[in-house]
Structure 1
Amino acid sequence: MKKPQSVKNYILASLSVVIIALIAALSFHKMVLKSWNTEDSVIVSIDRVGKVRGTETPLPFNNSTAEREKASPETEESPWETEYIDITVTFLNGEKKGESEDILITQLSTSSLKLTEGRRYLLVCDRFEDGTLQYSISDRYRIPWVIAFLILASGGLIASAGKAGFRALAGLLLSLAVLLGWYVPALAKGVAPIPFAILTIGAVSIITVLLVVRRPAFWIVAFLGALGGAIAASTVGWIIVKTWQLTGLASDSASLLASTIPNLSMEGLLLAAVMIGAIGAVLDVAVSVTSTLAELFSYDSHIESHRLWQAGIGVGREVLGSMINTLILAYLGSSLPFTILISYAGIDAMALLNDPYIAQELLRSVAGTIGLLLTIPITTGVCVWWLDFRLRSKKSAG
């Protein structure tokens, strides 16, 4: 009789999470509308989308529709020309909140932003020196749904995993706080990426181990195992960066960052990215091996060291297979558009391996893989040493 009750509770918990996510999204939407203070943009709902036409000169939005049509006759469109579109919008915030207006917006003819009636968008207004206003749609307004699905995922984790899920979520939030609240702002100020990356990895490892590993006696095992794997991945990454002569400037965003913050070492930033990218997978392996060995020790506190070593290596090998897949596929997925472009262009394999962008992705994959490989024996060795040390300490105390 307990099993149906358990299923019922699980279904009720899932429905509760969905309802809470929707309510939170609606509440957050209202809060965003009240607090949105970006001077050059407002949130609007599109009520009508008129004709699309091409023109060479911007037209004042306050011209009548007839004047705009007269000044902007329909011409054959070029893929690179600017389009002018008559639309009717309702302002959802700002000084004109609740008002509806016919406006003329500018948009590149190659833009992938599709305007749909009934949807919400971000409307940007540019004011020229002569007082002319030029409107454009910068993006879709998606904040409520982003919040809803974040809460749905977080609530689902807690509902299904209970306290363990809550601890995992808390660890993730604290790790993000360290990365986004401390490390990234420090980099923006031009600090050395690698030393701060080492401190960040240490902080993230401590947070994760304390919240995820249930047995305090094994905290040091998981921490040292993860730290050892991260150091291994970092060392391999440094060797690859030097031997492959990578500069960290393979992408447009990296080049823009280098010109924006001239004193920031892009080579160091590339290596720091490898270190931080590897720590997640390394922590997974270290915690998995530690938890398994801790369970074995709890069942048999007199287990021999060589048996414990064999068990740790055996479990690590099985975890390794799936974790390497996760690591490689994550990197491949993040660069999938570029990979498709390369496949479409039919680039030679040798030229492909020599491409700096591909080399950077290979750097992350190779360094992360070797870090995972070494995490298993490091974690197992630390566990065997730690248990032997504790046993000797107890005998000495007795």
Structure 2
Amino acid sequence: MTLPGTNGTARHGHAHDRLPAASRHTRRVMTAVLAPAALLTIVAMIALWPARPHRGAGSGDDGRRANGTVISVTEQSCPAGTAAGQACGSATVHVEHGPGAGSDVAVDLPSGPGAPRLRVGDEVVLLYLPGAVPGGHAYTVVDHQRGRPLIWLIALTAVVILAFGRWRGLTSLAGLALSFTILLLFIVPAILDGSPPLLVAVVGSAAIMFAALYLTHGLNVHTSVAVAGTLASLVLTGVLGVAFTAALHLSGVATDEDSFLASIPGSIDMRGLLLAGVVIGALGVLDDVTVTQAVTVAEMAAAGPTTRWLLYRAAGRVGRAHVASAVNTIVLAYAGASLPLLLLFATGSQPLSQVLTGELLAQEILRSAVGTIGLVASVPITTALAALVADVRTGSGSPARPRHAAAAH
């Protein structure tokens, strides 16, 4: 079955292949706009690429770590004054990999907030520190092994995506893998190498946007419109982030982790790192909205006679409904991630005004507010761009300008 406004050829199995084809003039315009942006992104990535892969200073524990399985647990009564809920006693662990592999070793039951609770059969990570505690055990349990459950969780997620999305699901997984590759091989090492974090984030986000969107949704005009709308919204988000970070006098140092990064030799720009997080976080929501708006306009244009203004208004109504739910999603996502922080503030004695204006919570408000503004702005921007390049029909089935047989791919 062929949708109205296509080139007359129906391709099966690819949802984006059935979108209405665009005119040659429209494709030329989008290419003229986006090709220089893509070229500039490539040049910037080459210029900012870290000189050498970063090797973390770490604590040197890798050579003293071992993996094992708990084979017995012996609990004892805790001394008077021990905190409630704390475990006392010892366990026997069979070391499978690392120092002492093949042997059974004794360990003290972990104690303290967040300490792992041991049961027979648990797979654990051990730290081998002989002589660290005079008369104590040489091994200490530091964590549970999570590799196997994580692999099953990721595999289940991939199966669900492929079962529902089929070919589109496969391309979305490929786009996700590419996004993580750029993040881990370019963005993080480049920031650690001393490059300006905001510039690295903008260039890296642009690279992720070009690669992931085209790979997931196909090389066509509708995706190009989404790319252009996303790029414009990212620029707006970055500008707002810079302006309000300065207006709020945020330093980017609000937690112990921030303080540790700020003390690393080489002096990471912590304010730039804060802005980089804002830009990268915004990208994850923007592409969803912009793709939806671009495809909505294209489908409406193909459905029958209309004008660009009517297209814009109709697609704008769809965008408003989408944004209304997406904004709530953004705020709840930040609130969920910061729930321990919110509980900590709730148990404190500081006035609410001081809590809200403190550096730590002000950073979260900045991320939420600037990301929301960029998200809302992406709807009219992308809708307007899509309406401008749409092949509008002004008569009963007659296109406003000649439609070409070439597909948008």
TM-score category by the smaller chain? Answer: 0.7 to 0.9
Cα distance in 1 for residues equivalent to 2:219 and 2:328: 29
SS at match of 2:142: strand
2 CA distance for matches of 1:273 and 1:261?
A: 21
Give 1:114's match in structure 2, choosing from 117, 121, 134: 117
Match of 1:345 among 339, 343, 348: 348
Letter of the 1:278 partner, please give it.
Answer: A
* Structure 1 contact 331–365 (Cα < 8 Å) conserved: yes
Deviation at residue 169 of structure 1 after TM alignment: 1.3
Equivalent position of 2:156 in the other structure? 152
Q: 1:308 aligns with which of 296, 307, 311?
A: 311
Correspondence for 1:100 among 99, 104, 108? 104
Instruction: Give the match for residue 18 of structure 1.
Output: none
User: How big is the shift at 1:90?
Assistant: 1.3
| Aligned mates of 1:347, 1:146 — CA distance in 2 | 40
Residue in structure 1 matched with residue 294 of structure 2 by the alignment? 290
Which residue among 240, 262, 268 is the counterpart of 2:272? 268
- Higher fraction of helix: 1
Q: CA deviation at 1:387?
A: 3.0
SS of equivalent residue, structure 1 residue 89: strand
Structure 2 runs not aligned, ≥5 long: 1-60, 393-398, 404-409
Out of 329, 339, 345, the residue aligned to residue 332 of structure 2 is 329
Of residues 103-112 and 356-365 in structure 1, the stretch that sits farther from structure 2 once superposed is: 103-112
Cα contact 2:66–2:125 (8 A) shared by 1: yes
Question: Tell me, what secondary structure is at the counterpart of 1:112?
Answer: coil
Partner of 1:3: none
State the SS of the aligned residue for 2:63.
coil
Partner of 1:42: 66
Q: For residues 54-73 of structure 1, what are the structure 2 equivalents within 5 Å?
A: none
Q: Answer whether contact 1:84 1:104 (CA < 8 A) is retained.
A: no
Measured after TM superposition, the shift of residue 177 of structure 1 is 0.8
- Residues 66, 99 of structure 2: 8 Å contact kept: no
Q: TM-score, normalised by structure 1?
A: 0.77
Q: How far has the Cα of 1:234 moved from its partner? A: 1.4
Distance apart, 1:202 and its partner CA: 0.8
Q: Show the counterpart of 2:390.
A: 387
1:268–1:215 Cα change, 3 Å: closer
- Offset at 1:111? 5.1
Counterpart for residue 80 of structure 2: 76
| CA distance in structure 2 between the partners assigned to 1:282 and 1:220 by the alignment | 14
1:263-287 deviation line (CA, Å, top 9, x unaligned):
2100011011101101111111101
Q: If the length of structure 2 is used for normalisation, what is the TM-score?
A: 0.75
The offset of 1:262, in angstroms, is 4.0
1:129 and 1:377, CA in 2 relative to 1: closer, same or farther beyond 3 A? closer
Distance 1:350 1:193, change over 3 A: same
Q: Deviations over 1:23-77 (max 9, x none)?
A: xxxxxxxxxxxxxx94211111111122457xxxxxxxxxxxxxxxxxxxx7434
Secondary structure of the 2:263 match is helix
Of residues 212-221 and 258-267 in structure 1, the stretch that sits farther from structure 2 once superposed is: 212-221
Per-residue CA deviation, residues 326-383 of structure 1 (Å, 9 max, x unaligned), is 1111111110011112122253221122111110000011001100111011101111
- Residue correspondence of structure 1 range 234-273 to structure 2 within 5 A: 234-273=238-277
C-alpha contact (below 8 Å) 2:230/2:287 kept by paired residues = yes
Deviation at 1:325, TM superposition (A): 1.1
Runs of at least 5 residues in structure 1 that lack an aligned partner in the other structure: 1-36, 54-73
Which of 113, 123, 127 aligns to 1:124? It is 127
- Give the structure 1 partner of residue 27 of structure 2: none
Q: Structure 1 residues 392, 338: CA separation in 2 closer, same or farther (over 3 Å shift)? A: same
* 1:187 and 2:191 correspond: yes
**1:369 corresponds to 2:372:** yes
Distance 1:292 1:375 in 2: 14
1:173-252 aligned within 5 A:
173-214=177-218, 216-252=220-256
Q: Distance in 2 between matches of 1:96 and 1:376?
A: 60
What CA deviation, in whole Å up to 9, does each residue of 1:221-242 have, x standing for no partner? 1111011111111111111101
The 3-state SS of whatever aligns with 1:46 is: strand
Percent identity, please.
Answer: 28
Mapped partners of 1:150, 1:318: distance in 2: 31
Alignment check: 8 A CA contact 2:99 2:128 kept? no
Kindly tell me the number of residue pairs found equivalent between the two proteins.
Answer: 337
Give, in whole Å, the separation in 1 of the partners of 2:283 and 2:367: 12
Secondary structure of residue in 2 paired with 1:88: strand
Equivalent residue, structure 2, for 1:33: none
CA RMSD of aligned residues (A): 2.9
Shift of residue 109, structure 1, vs aligned partner:
4.3
